[in-house]
Structure 1
Amino acid sequence: MNISDQLLLFVASFLANWFSALSGGGAGLIQFPMLIFLGLPFGVALATHKVASVALGLGATVRHLNENTLDRRFSLIILGAGLPGVVLGASVILKIPPSYAQFALGVLTMGLGIYSVFKPQLGLEHSPRNREGRALIGGIAGLFFIGFLNGSITSGTGLFLTMWLIHRFGLDYKRAVAYTLILCGLFWNGTGAIVLGMIGKIAWDWMPALLLGSVTGGYLGSHFAITKGNQFIKRAFEIITILIGLKLIIA
């Protein structure tokens, strides 16, 4: 790649991951289509995007760990339930035509934003629930399904995890976004990148600009979200989910 292409990749990656760190997902809205636009085949772009998304998790982790908001037991539940779904989704996505799944994902993603708009108090207070027994099993099933989406579909699946943590487990937006960026960004996306790298191909020469944009965008977006608080993150989540949903539907 020439210098102008690397610069374009950096700017796109920075913006995508800055917005993603604000709302708890959605970096693929800008970053993944940009890779295809610049010439990567779908499968290569998917694997390359997954690797770059791990850098988003790294940048966000550096900032969010200073807040000490993650519970170890609950983190292990999210990882244990979601990672098998990620592996399964990443193993089958390159064999499935993406058009129907993309349309359905667009409708569901836009629905997340609309649902949040009509629930003014959703995610503004931290009130943990459904952490034991049968209620926890239902939550684990949802985490597995979202993990499958994360492994198979590129755009916006972190937003599903953010909303599930709020709706099912009672987290506020700030905590839900922290769990999503760290556990989904680092571990779910890292697992998906490994699986896709084993069965596909990664464009390593595209990585310098993508990784730099992902780390800096993730860190600065997380810092901005933490300083602004739950109401701001809620609005960012609603705007980005609706935009992503429309983009996926009309693509």
Structure 2
Amino acid sequence: MDIFEQLTLFVISLIANLFSALAGGGAGLLQLPALLFLGLPFGVALATHKVASVFLGLGATARHLRSSEFNLKFSIFILATGLPGVVLGASIILQIDDRISQGLLGILTLGLGLYSWFKPELGQVLSERNRDLPGLVMGGLVLFFIGALNGSLTSGTGLFVTLWLVRWFGLDYKAAVAYTLILVGIFWNGSGAITLGILGNIEWSWLPALILGSLIGGYLGAHFAIVKGNKLVKRSFEVITILVGVSLIIKSLA
């Protein structure tokens, strides 16, 4: 790539990851289509995007760990239930036509954004719930399913984790976004990147610009989320979720 294309990748990555870190997901809305538009095949673009997304998690982590408190047992639970789904999803995505699943995912994502929009008090106050065995089993099964989507379709599935942590486990938006960016951003996306890298290919020459944009965008987005609080994070989540949903529906019809 020439210097102009690298600069274009950096700017796209910076913007995509800033809003993703603010909303708790959605970097694939801009970043993955940009890689496809610039000429990468879908499997290579997906694997390359996954690697870059790990650095979104690292950038956000650098900011969140300074001001957020994390429950270690709950973090391990999210990883233990979600990671097997990520590996499963990444293992099968390169072998199937994803247009139908993208359309269905788009409809569901759009529905999540509208649901949050019409629930103004949702996720504004931390109120932990469903931490008993039945609640954890149900919550873990849904996280496994979201993990499978994360490993396969990448665009906006972090948003699913964010809303599920808010709706089912009672986290506020700011806390849910922090968990999503650190655990999904680093560990889920890292597992997906490794699996896709083994089964497919990664365009290593494109990664420096993507990684730099992911790190800076992740840090800045996390900073704004912490400083501005739940109201801005919730509204950002809703806008990004609706855009991701519409984008996936359009992509499935193309």
TM tier, shorter chain?
Answer: over 0.9
Gaps of 5+ in 2: none
Write the distance in 2 (CA, Å) between the matches of 1:37 and 1:232.
Answer: 31
Shift of 1:135: 1.4
1:126 counterpart = 2:126? yes
Question: C-alpha deviations, 1:156-185, integer Å up to 9, x for none?
Answer: 000000000000000000000000000000
Write the distance in 1 (CA, Å) between the matches of 2:68 and 2:30.
Answer: 30
CA contact (8 A) 2:68 2:175 kept: no
Question: C-alpha deviations, 1:75-99, integer Å up to 9, x for none?
Answer: 0000000000000000000011010
Shift of 1:225: 1.1
Q: TM-score, normalised by structure 1?
A: 0.99
CA RMSD of aligned residues (A): 0.6
Write the distance in 2 (CA, Å) between the matches of 1:207 and 1:65.
Answer: 25
Name the residue aligned to 2:173: 173
CA contact (8 A) 1:57 1:186 kept: yes
Shift of 1:68: 2.9
Name the residue aligned to 1:249: 249
Write the distance in 2 (CA, Å) between the matches of 1:161 and 1:95.
Answer: 25
Gaps of 5+ in 1: none
**1:20-35 → structure 2 map (5 Å cutoff):** 20-35=20-35
CA contact (8 A) 1:110 1:241 kept: yes
CA contact (8 A) 2:124 2:173 kept: yes
Name the residue aligned to 1:18: 18
**1:1-251 → structure 2 map (5 Å cutoff):** 1-251=1-251
Write the distance in 1 (CA, Å) between the matches of 2:135 and 2:64.
Answer: 28
Write the distance in 2 (CA, Å) between the matches of 1:106 and 1:154.
Answer: 12
Aligned AA (1:193): A
Write the distance in 2 (CA, Å) between the matches of 1:212 and 1:123.
Answer: 31
Q: What secondary structure does 1:66 align onto? A: coil
Q: TM-score, normalised by structure 2?
A: 0.98
Q: What secondary structure does 2:124 align onto? A: coil
Write the distance in 1 (CA, Å) between the matches of 2:39 and 2:57.
Answer: 26
Q: What secondary structure does 1:12 align onto? A: helix
Write the distance in 2 (CA, Å) between the matches of 1:231 and 1:219.
Answer: 19
Question: C-alpha deviations, 1:169-209, integer Å up to 9, x for none?
Answer: 00000000000000000000000000000000000000100
Shift of 1:131: 1.1
Question: C-alpha deviations, 1:37-74, integer Å up to 9, x for none?
Answer: 00100000000000000000000000000113211000
State the number of aligned residues.
251
Name the % identity: 66
Write the distance in 2 (CA, Å) between the matches of 1:67 and 1:27.
Answer: 23
CA contact (8 A) 2:44 2:202 kept: yes
Shift of 1:150: 0.4
- Deviating more after overlay: 169-178 vs 129-138: 129-138
Shift of 1:7: 0.3
Q: What secondary structure does 2:94 align onto? A: helix
CA contact (8 A) 1:69 1:178 kept: no
Write the distance in 2 (CA, Å) between the matches of 1:101 and 1:18.
Answer: 27
